[in-house]
Amino acid sequence: AVALIEKVGESLKGIPNEIAVRGHTDSLQFKNSAGNNNWSLSANRADSTRQYLNSIGVDNSRFSRIEGVADSQPVNPENPADPRNRRISITVLYRDGTRPAK
């Protein structure tokens, strides 16, 4: 996963667009001794990705949204416990006045 995030980060450094990062979980209930749950796990997943992208040169000012959505947007809704639902999504945002990358 780190190698893929590094490749995405290298691509992101070459464009001016803002970025949104979302963390996702499966539907299996996560709870640890600190009281964390799927919502905090997904938010931590997104923020860890932001931190890593920043460490390899993606400027923090480019991140417009870092959010955890827990299991509310499964990639496989037929099987909410599917491990593929544990993921991050990185979205390159398009706004008026910002040209898409060529």
Q: pLDDT at position 99, please?
A: 54
Nearest-angstrom CA–CA distance, 97 and 67: 25
**Range 70-82 average pLDDT:** 93
Summarised one tens digit per residue, pLDDT across range 78-102 is 999 999 999 999 999 987 655 555 5
Summarised one tens digit per residue, pLDDT across range 7-59 is 999 999 999 999 999 999 999 987 776 778 999 999 999 999 999 999 999 99
List of domains in the chain: 2-91 (3.30.1330.60)
Q: pLDDT at position 26, please?
A: 93
